[in-house]
Structure formats: C-alpha cells, structure tokens
Copies of this chain bind each other. A is one copy, B any other.
Amino acid sequence: MTQQSRRLYLNEVATRDGFQNEAVFIDTDDKIALIDQLSACGYAKIEVTSFTSPRAIPALRDAEAVMHGIARAPGVVYTVLVPNVRGAERALSCKVDEVNLVMSVSESHNRANLRMSREESFGQLRDVIGAVRGSGVAINVSLSTAMGCPMEGDVPVETVLGWIDRFAGLGVNGVTLCDTTGMAHPAQVHDLCARASAAFAPLEITLHFHNTRGMALANTLAALDAGIVRFDASLGGLGGCPYAPGATGNVCTEELVHMLELDGYDTGVNLAAVLDAAARLPALIGHDVPSQILKAGRRLDLHPMPACA
C-alpha cells in the first residue's frame, strides 16, 4: 500500500446518529456527561445533537439544553445536524462550531428519509447555507447513500461527484460521503475517494462507514489508501439499520481507533478513554452494543486461561 498521511481526524457521532435511533429518551444530564467525557478523548470533532423538530426526533428534543450544558474543550469542533433554516437559527443561537446538513444522493432514499425530492432538499439546504454563511460557523454536508442505495442499488460515481460539485459551488467547507446502509466495498471506496479527492481538494472529505455487512474497517483501509484522513465513527457502534434487525450500524469508534493505532496512525484519540466511555453505553441505552473490543478487549489485553483452538 502507498504511504499516507499518518495524522487522522475523527468525528464522534454516537450522541446524534446513535441516540436518535434509540427507543429510550436519554436524560439530558446523561447526554451532557457523556459528551463531556468524549471531549476529553481527543476527537477532532463531535456531532453533539440534531436541531430537527422535536416531534420528528423526540430523542434529541433537548438539543439547546445539551449544547448549552456541555463544557467545550479547546481544539474540538462541536457540530450539529441541521435540516432547515429554522434548525440553523436554533444552532447559531447556541454558538455551534459547525452545522452538518444532510441529503441523499439517491432519489428514493431521499424521499423515504426526508420526505421530499433531492431538488427540494438541495433548495432547502441552499437556504440554510445562505443563512449560515458569514456567521463564521463552518458548513459540512453529509451525502447519504453515496456508496449505494438500499432501494435503488448502485449509485453512479458521477451522481455522487455531481452533488459534491453543487455543494462545493455553494462554498461549503466539507462533504461527508456516507455509506448509509453498509453497501460499500473496498475497491469501490478506493475509486470514489480517489476521484472525489482529486476533483475537489482542498474541500474536506470525510468518510462515514457502516458495518452492516462487516466491511467497515476494510473500507477504512481502502479510503486511507486513497488519501482520506477524516472519518466518522460511533461509540460502541451505536446507530442501527431498521431493515436489518441484529445487523450492526455505524463503524464502532473503539474498533476503528484500535485498528488505526495498531497500524501506526495518529488518530488523536485516546483508546483507553474511549473504551471507558463506551462501557457506559449499555446502562444509558438499556441494551448491549455491537462493539467487539468491549467484549474481547484490546489486542494486548492478555488472558491467563486456556485459549481458543
């Protein structure tokens, strides 16, 4: 493999992407305590919450209270999901560092997930960008289904590059390519990342993988090989997939950090601190999490007993 930059930048999404999928409401104080713990872990960015309608996502109805309650660590970018201008105004009033906008690059998924066409989404997000621009708050756009749509199947690379181009034209700071339902495979990831990086540098390109079909870490290797240095990850692997009960969701932060650190990358993230935070999750959300490292321990956590065959 070619030699890549060894400094990587991780964005923790569990308290937004993970918690919004949980059936229980996690107490505001517990959210704040967890985010404060995450702030000490060394992440480049934390996606704190979502300024969506409290009716649409009641799990995150306390977005303002959480944003006001957390202690901001220097050097950490605190980002929030914002669906529309109303959400952007709420986010700006909380002095977020970044807003993260989202739409799907496949029509069917955008309609299923956001209840509007892609063009309607783009128009709405263009208005958000207009409202945020000039405030000093950074703007990132997460493009869902960038490596496949669960309803349409393959999404042409040209389609993905086309949507990046439209948002780049609006002056956003970064784009996240999301493998929303774990359809990406390594050769595809390498091709998409190489082409997006070549076409849109110095736009910050982040990769967001799901482990739905077991390939999240393999896809990460492929993205690294194509020069990507920014990755989303979710503590404990929180954030499931509604059509595949029992399947894992987002790539697990501690599994990602564990592999990257062993391979000699500098993620900035303290693995022991992240594992401490992940260990709190089952009590918070009321069920087990898909993290393998939480169960098996780190590579060099040794075991005195007779071992596997």
- Are B213 and A214 in contact, with the CB atoms below 8 A? no
When chains A and B are docked, how far (Å) is the Cα of A264 from the Cα of B212? 20
Of the candidate stretches A85-93, A144-152, A159-167, the one touching chain B is: A144-152
CB distance from A54 to the nearest CB of B (A): 16
When chains A and B are docked, how far (Å) is the Cα of A149 from the Cα of B303? 9
In the assembled complex, A84 has its CB within 8 A of some CB on chain B? no
Contacts of A264 in B (CB 8 A): 187
Which chain A residues in 209-232 approach chain B with CB under 8 Å?
A: 210-218, 220-222, 225
- Counting every copy of the chain, the complex holds 2
Of the candidate stretches A23-31, A119-127, A168-176, A292-300, the one touching chain B is: A292-300
Contacts of A297 in B (CB 8 A): 244
- Are B259 and A215 in contact, with the CB atoms below 8 A? yes
CB distance from A57 to the nearest CB of B (A): 9
When chains A and B are docked, how far (Å) is the Cα of A258 from the Cα of B183? 11
In the assembled complex, A134 has its CB within 8 A of some CB on chain B? no
When chains A and B are docked, how far (Å) is the Cα of A109 from the Cα of B306? 7
- Are B109 and A307 in contact, with the CB atoms below 8 A? yes
Beyond A148-B299, A246-B295, A299-B148, whether A213 also contacts B307 by CB under 8 A is: no
Q: Which of B217, B244, B308 contacts A242 (CB 8 A)?
A: B308
In the assembled complex, A37 has its CB within 8 A of some CB on chain B? no
When chains A and B are docked, how far (Å) is the Cα of A145 from the Cα of B148? 38
In the assembled complex, A247 has its CB within 8 A of some CB on chain B? yes
- Are B307 and A263 in contact, with the CB atoms below 8 A? no
- Are B299 and A185 in contact, with the CB atoms below 8 A? yes
- Are B212 and A292 in contact, with the CB atoms below 8 A? yes
Which chain A residues in 241-256 approach chain B with CB under 8 Å?
A: 241-249, 252, 255
- Are A212 and B21 in contact, with the CB atoms below 8 A? no
Contacts of A150 in B (CB 8 A): 302-303, 307-308
CB distance from A26 to the nearest CB of B (A): 17
- Are B259 and A296 in contact, with the CB atoms below 8 A? no
Q: Which of B185, B190, B305, B307 contacts A1 (CB 8 A)?
A: B190
When chains A and B are docked, how far (Å) is the Cα of A185 from the Cα of B112? 38
Which chain A residues in 1-51 approach chain B with CB under 8 Å?
A: 1, 17, 20-21
- Are B187 and A262 in contact, with the CB atoms below 8 A? yes
The 10 sampled A-B contact pairs (Cβ below 8 Å) are A109-B307, A112-B306, A180-B307, A181-B308, A186-B259, A187-B264, A240-B308, A242-B307, A243-B305, A243-B308
> Other than the known A181-B303, A244-B297, what 18 A-B pairs have Cβ atoms closer than 8 Å?
A102-B309, A112-B305, A112-B306, A113-B308, A148-B299, A149-B307, A151-B304, A185-B259, A185-B263, A211-B214, A213-B293, A218-B259, A239-B308, A243-B296, A243-B303, A243-B307, A245-B295, A246-B288
**4 closest A-B pairs (Cβ-Cβ)?**
A185-B262, A244-B296, A217-B218, A112-B306
